[in-house]
A and B are shown apart, each in its own frame.
Chain A
């Protein structure tokens, strides 16, 4: 695999600066843009492997930028948000973003997210083979067989559907709303308690320590994701 290319869309000069430093230190190709329009153009021309997008852009709403990008590209998008409220992040994730970081964040954290996103592009090819594995957990989507450390685990149909949706989007942050829609259908998106109950059941069946989950991670106030390991 060649050196991955990253487009950074961020209006703050200093932020752009240290992002470039940190990313280049890991030998990524970095192209940056200081506005939404310029960023979208760069994303179109540079064919990046990842787009890092700040939600507080001067010329357009970050959520709109994600929507526009998603019209023609499946490139993983990591959003940066300076607001503590969850609503904006959820909106961006629902619009198609893959992951998010709340400012301020450490470079280590960012690089970890980038690695997850890159791996996700690879694992989506892996999904074709029908098997998703995270450490000891193996999800065979073809045979509908779940094993933890080689031992088969029996899931109810809904538990299985929930896990399969998570597996389909391994590494991506899936919002509560998205999961409810995928598993229970568009009429049940307000019944968040379904998700809480089944998620708890699922963790108790899969995780050794449900309070410290390794496979299905909680994104507080936003949703869940299946870990990539």
Chain B
């Protein structure tokens, strides 16, 4: 590679990986060659060290197998209680995932990563439990033996003759943050075994005894060491990549592995996975569905799909392709995806087909520029103890039926031909037989066409070629007729059958596309979630013949079944659905999570967030294993999700519009009201004052009355102001005119405004020097201060002492107005802030008690607090707080 700059996509991926990693917990694996090397012991020792450093370590599950040394190590560690699960009448103590998530320690120890959970647990495998713990941000320490790694499983099986069923995908191992190899020499291990320090399960003592042979142990140790070395190698490569030393990840050398119908595909997939990880490239696994494969029994198809799934688990990108010729389809796929290495299994059973090239050869001829890697395809089961491979089912009965029909048709043609023989040449009679082959091909497929071809040649020879009613042929010329007839019949038959097949495939594809298109069209015009639910039900049910239900969340993100849902799919488990919704991951049937459920839960993931869950009850277990179907379902799901999101945003937009409109209305009403009320008040005040000062001078009583009218008018005016302010504040979204203000100035302004009322009071202001600027709406805070000062005047006798103080606390400013009056009635410190409550009920003291309510609304709007308290020396204190911000600095420098 000439370009040594890092690939931007890779960098992005790296950044994303870093981010994800930062949130996830860290996984540390204690890795060993076999049981008994001391992994659990090492893990527990590490835990003790961390605990000594003050870390809150919890043992999630640890198998001591009664070993004294290990048991001793459990001392002093918190052990999470196990969960009892009932299975087939037995109570089994399992790791309690939910308990662990609830306890949420920073680090948890989980022994034996490869363990399979009891059916009915949330995940079938323990490594999936661990994955969930990591996703929740909990660090995990765990242990694993080399034979449990998926790709090494069959190699270990080959060495020891024992295969374990409990495996862990390599990606778990590769993505671990730390792997510590717990190593022990075979001799020491054997010594420990002899001393009885190693636990052997009763049932398989013999087999395991066989396992612990020195040769095996050496081989296992080498495997473990090498796997660890590979990881170190990977780390080195990643390190180089991150610092862009040398070449970056190669994208064009990727690997394609072809999965065929023959047993043993898993081995090829494992090898491909290993090769891909050694090269550090991505890999694809595909299978090509050809007409021949269409006639394979279901068990074969299922096995192929299982293999694909397995490949996916190991990290491959998978695809199912359809086409006539496997080689061509494969090469096309490889070219379009930039894959330069193709891995295929080596056929061994075709050796007697000496005229036929092997599959690899055919591939090689088509693609001179690609590397073809052949993997020896030893049937599992030879020399290795394993489950016997799935037996082929007998060819279905329908074949016999179609053969019978074909034979009948051939016989009919023979009959018709016999009737026509007197009038037509033999050459034309042959045409009739060819027609029969075409007919058989269209009607009964490729095999029937072959049968018809041979049958017709035989019938033609027997009944029509002289000497008739014998297989003898008088004229040698007829041999050519037979040959040509047979060849033509076979070719026509094959082509017709293929054509029919392709038409069928095209039809299916078209049906799928049409369903998608129609659903998209129908969804494009909906405005209500219920319509979406109805349309989705209709399309998914008719397309897949399954029962579906859509669950939508309420405002608290809790899923609510739609009305119809419970009726359609009664077995919905709200817990699983919620899990799927919260994690935005599929759950239930055919997934990694709670796969025992009969219902598949698919999250409806839209660009912004998950919008709901689609619950599907499939008809049979094989459903959805076919990638095409799965893809179509995914298409439906994506459509539903984006439509739900679109409808959601329509709602949001409408709400915003209504809010803006009502806000505008309220503001104009308030401002009109304010104007209309003030004008008569102004006149009243002005006119009464004019009256008071009218000439000739009024008698004292009349003068006093006029002045009283003026004063009451001003009181009325302040009441109106309070009411209007309250209305404005109560409307919720008050726009604060936030500025960096000086507290000293606003206090001064409030004092100036209350000058008249405060005439007879002693007011002290205690402000610390260098008080910082605060961010607030100066008119509103002034109003708070005026209200508090007026309150103090109202409830204390003249010549009382009022103190305004301000303090700085860690992140807020605390401003208080204190008086030395009678204080607040005990128990009403809080209720006085409620609307229309006053300190003394029914008293003659003026005020509606709206003042404090307004103060509270203003304090709330400033994200501050306000409260009242009585002080020990007598008197009331009203305190309000304002958040301290970081005041802007002065850009203009100035020296005295």
Contacts and interface: CB of A to CB of B under 8 A. Distances in A.
Q: Do A and B come from one complex?
A: yes
B693 interface: yes
Interface of B: 671, 674-675, 678-687, 689-690, 693-695, 710, 713-714, 717, 721, 724, 737, 739-742, 744-749, 751-753, 765, 767, 773, 778-779, 782, 887-888, 890-892, 894-896
Contact of B678 (A19, A82, A108, A191): A82
Contacts of B683: 12, 14-15, 18
Contacts of A220: 746, 749, 753, 778-779, 782
A158 B686 contact: no
A121 interface: no
Contact of B742 (A56, A108, A199, A217): A199
Nearest to B804: A211
B193 to A, nearest CB: 80
The residue among B687, B748, B749, B752 with the most chain A CB atoms within 10 A of its own CB is B748
A105 B682 contact: yes
Contacts, number: 128
Given A103-B681, A194-B892, 4 more contacts: A83-B675, A85-B671, A104-B684, A192-B740
Nearest to B670: A84
Interface class of chain B by DSSP: helix
Given A14-B683, A158-B892, A193-B740, A212 B751 contact: yes
A70 B632 CA distance: 75
Given A200-B742, A218-B748, A104 B682 contact: yes
B790 to A, nearest CB: 16
A84 B714 CA distance: 15
A184 interface: yes
Contact of B892 (A14, A184, A210): A184
B753 to A, nearest CB: 8
A150 interface: no
Contacts of A18: 683, 686-687, 689-690
Contacts of B682: 12, 15, 82, 103-105
Given A82-B675, A107-B689, A156 B894 contact: yes
A15 B888 contact: no
A17 B691 CA distance: 12
A3 to B, nearest CB: 17
A158 B685 contact: no
A84 B724 CA distance: 10
Contact of A211 (B689, B744, B890): B744
Contacts of A211: 744, 747-748, 751, 765, 767
Contact of B679 (A82, A107, A191, A199): A82
A197 B689 contact: no
Contact of B685 (A12, A83, A106, A196): A106
Interface residues of A, number: 42
Interface of A: 12, 14-15, 17-19, 21-22, 25, 56, 82-86, 103-108, 154, 156-158, 184, 191-194, 196-197, 199-200, 210-213, 217-218, 220-221
B709 to A, nearest CB: 12
A205 B721 CA distance: 36
A15 B752 contact: no
Contacts of A105: 682, 685-686
Contacts of A156: 894-896
Nearest to B718: A104
A107 B690 contact: yes
A86 B779 contact: yes
Contacts of B680: 14
Contacts of A56: 675
B689 A84 contact: no
A22 B678 CA distance: 19
A104 B890 contact: no
Contacts of B714: 104, 106
Nearest to B740: A193
